């Protein structure tokens, strides 16, 4: 066999092996499904509980989190995956991000196994939730995860406060015209009252 044939066969083998290399691990749903009532206020949509900590920084966790978010939001975003805030080393049920929450909000929670807990998922997992945080003055300050074993949380998006609108110029003109007509009416009435008294 000539050297050129050996190089060609070697190149073909390496190319074939690289093409056949397994892709990243697929998003794996565990035995427990998320529920809209897993958080308070009640979610409008959820997806999960997926195996593992999808809030970690590993490339495979980021790819899985992006896939889960696409499922939750009904989108086909190819990335990059961005988020607003992380909370680590959590326990209990209360979540309080530093950023106030408004309107359409998307979050993810990782829970530890919480084995033996009545309200635990039972395995290391992550779920994604979408809910309406409303438009409270100052924003929604905190909310509750109704599952045991909370480990970390990630805020992906939240709305902006809806401020009271500034009246349009036409509204100001109508208001000033109304005051003018009311003043003119009062002045006209005073003149008429004065004529009646003189007569």
Distance of alpha carbon 168 from alpha carbon 194, whole angstroms: 40
What's the burial of 167, exposed, middle or buried (CB within 10 Å: 0-12/13-18/19+)?
Answer: exposed
Mean pLDDT, residues 43-48: 95
* pLDDT tens for each residue of 80-117: 888 999 999 998 899 999 999 999 999 999 998 676 67
Percent pLDDT > 70 in the chain is: 78
* pLDDT tens for each residue of 159-182: 888 766 677 777 778 888 888 888
Q: In the structure encoding, which two tokens stand for residue 46, read together?
A: 């959820």
Distance of alpha carbon 150 from alpha carbon 88, whole angstroms: 10
Peptide bond into 159 cis (omega under 30): no
| Amino acid 23: pLDDT | 43
Percent pLDDT > 90 in the chain is: 47
Decide: helix, strand or coil at residue 198.
Answer: helix
Q: In the structure encoding, which two tokens stand for residue 195, read together?
A: 């004529």
Say whether pLDDT at 137 is over 70.
Answer: yes
What's the burial of 123, exposed, middle or buried (CB within 10 Å: 0-12/13-18/19+)?
Answer: middle
Say whether pLDDT at 37 is over 70.
Answer: yes
Mean pLDDT of the chain: 82
Where residue 195 falls among pLDDT bands split at 50, 70, 90? low
| Amino acid 67: pLDDT | 94
Mean pLDDT, residues 55-63: 91
Say whether pLDDT at 58 is over 70.
Answer: yes
Distance of alpha carbon 68 from alpha carbon 78, whole angstroms: 12
| Amino acid 168: pLDDT | 75
Distance of alpha carbon 95 from alpha carbon 155, whole angstroms: 10
| Amino acid 21: pLDDT | 37
| Cα–Cα distances in angstroms (integers) from residue 97 to residues 73, 162, 174, in the given order | 21, 19, 44
Q: In the structure encoding, which two tokens stand for residue 1, read together?
A: 């066999």
Q: Which helix (H) or strand (E) holds 95?
A: strand 94-95
* pLDDT tens for each residue of 2-36: 655 555 454 544 444 334 333 445 889 888 899 99
Where residue 184 falls among pLDDT bands split at 50, 70, 90? confident
């Amino acid at each position: 066999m000539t050297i050129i044939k050996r190089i060609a066969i070697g190149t073909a083998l390496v190319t074939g092996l690289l093409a056949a290399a397994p892709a990243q691990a697929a998003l794996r749903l565990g035995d427990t499904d998320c529920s809209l009532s897993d958080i308070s206020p009640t979610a409008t949509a959820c997806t999960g509980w997926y195996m593992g900590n999808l809030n970690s920084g590993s490339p495979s966790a980021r790819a899985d989190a992006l896939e889960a978010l696409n499922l939750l939001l009904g989108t086909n975003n190819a990335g990059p995956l961005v988020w607003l805030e992380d909370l680590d080393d959590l326990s209990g049920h209360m979540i309080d991000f530093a950023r106030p929450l408004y309107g359409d909000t998307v979050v993810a929670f990782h829970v530890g196994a919480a084995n033996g807990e009545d309200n635990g998922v039972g395995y290391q997992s992550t779920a994604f939730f979408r809910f309406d945080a409303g438009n409270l003055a100052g924003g929604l300050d905190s909310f509750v995860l109704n599952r045991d074993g909370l480990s970390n949380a990630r805020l992906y998006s939240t709305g902006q406060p809806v401020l009271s609108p500034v009246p349009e110029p036409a509204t100001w003109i109508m208001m000033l015209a109304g005051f003018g007509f009311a003043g003119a009416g009062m002045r006209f009435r005073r003149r008429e009252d004065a004529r009646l008294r003189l007569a």
